[in-house]
Structure 1
Amino acid sequence: MIRATLLIAAALSATPLLAQAGTYRERLVTVYGTDACPKASNPDEIVVCTRRPEEERFRIPRPVRETDTSIDRRDNVGEQRAALASGKPSATGIGSCSSVGPGGMIGCNQGLNVVAAVRRAKEGIERAIEPVDK
């Protein structure tokens, strides 16, 4: 039994794994204008070049430029007033809703729960005072 197990283990360790089959290096390069595409430094290297116009060399990439930033531009007056009213606008740590310190996300979750409760209450009030057509 032990001999059979050792033979199987030796046979499996001698065969290369499928993940080790490709040992090439891949480089993805973006070149601008008439810049030359870099050459492969060894035969096992694959270089893939994409060419962009010269005027886009120092610009923010198009997918980033065209994203909708309306959410980022919204006015955060309510959140800022709530932070000032709480007396802890720059607090960190547990219960603070900050990316600094341990447990900062706990405060964010509490704040999100409050916002969700307010929205539910507001929707309930709007439904209650909405006229019913007969």
Structure 2
Amino acid sequence: MSRTLSAAIAAAAFGLAAGLATPAAAQGEGEKVNQVIVYGDDPCPQSAAGEITVCARKAESERYRIPEALRGSESPDNTAWTNRVTAYETVGAFGTLSCSPVGAGGSLGCTQRLIDAAYAEKSGDSSIRFSELIAKEREKRLSTIDEQAAEQQARVEAAEKAYMERQQKKEAEEDAASPATTAPLPTPKGN
């Protein structure tokens, strides 16, 4: 009796699975989607009957480059040979400044290794490099600083000249308004 029960359950499960697969299969009978990447001004291929063609357009400069998804791969297969050789050179390193638990002063090199790794990561980072942006902005500002300083100096000299002319004019007016007293000063008497 248990065999017939398990056979009945299996038949029901198979029938249920076959019934559920039919709508999914019917959905797959629709139009085929063709995804194409085109570069520059290349035309997008025309869709055929029963097919939808979707084109993603990229710049002409991207045509022969490695795809973006593979450029930043951290896979060991993408490591340059020079980096692999450098890694093998440090296998037997021990002692002072080696960043290893072996030898006297082996742990002293760990800080330097961290610093070197941070600088290597910073220089190899593909994102915006703020140091370069700052250097460019500084260069742009320094290129105009001489002109700005000359303009400022000219404004200051013009303001000083106008001030001096006003002072001389004021003194001349005061001298003209007051009576001329040019009496000689008394001479001091001898001791």
- TM-score interval, smaller chain: 0.3 to 0.5
TM-score (norm 2): 0.32
Instruction: Work out which of the two has the higher radius of gyration on C-alpha atoms and give 1 or 2.
Output: 2
TM-score (norm 1): 0.42
